[in-house]
Amino acid sequence: MSISIDDFRRAEIKIGTVLSAERVPGTDKLLRLEVDVGEGAARQILSGIAEHVRPEDMVGRQFPFLTNLESRVIRGLASNGMILAVGEGDTFALLSPTRAVDEGSRIR
């Protein structure tokens, strides 16, 4: 399936810094992240990556986040975006800039 460049431009993908990360109680896969994406207030983002990363290894690191995704409630918690990653199982990897950039920097 192909999308137009206009469709791609509608996706707001911004660099954010993880301020805190913790497992969601009662789940094996979910992490609750507090993320600074340059908006003046942190966003809560839930992600099913807990089988691949330790929460403490996420804090202070920068990753790309889809920020204009419709909010969704998961396990009673609102998720206001999505972290971008690749692969599954042994091939799972998080994406990250090669140097520190400003929070809210848009992916182009």
pLDDT tens string, the chain, 108 residues long: the values are 899 999 999 999 999 999 999 999 999 999 999 999 999 999 999 999 999 999 999 999 999 999 999 999 999 999 999 999 999 888 999 999 999 999 999 998
Q: Is residue 89 situated within a structural domain?
A: yes
Q: Is residue 100 situated within a structural domain?
A: no
Q: Give which of 60, 83, 57, 63 is closest to 16, Cα–Cα.
A: 63
Residue 31: give the domain boundaries.
5-94
Parallel/antiparallel/unpaired status of strands 62-66 and 82-83: antiparallel
CATH number at residue 23: 2.40.50.140
Q: Is residue 102 situated within a structural domain?
A: no
Q: Is residue 101 situated within a structural domain?
A: no
Q: Is residue 28 situated within a structural domain?
A: yes
**Max CA pair span of the chain:** 41
Q: What is the pLDDT of residue 10?
A: 93
pTM: 0.94
Q: Is residue 54 situated within a structural domain?
A: yes
Question: DSSP class of residue 88?
Answer: S
Our count of domains for the chain comes to: 1
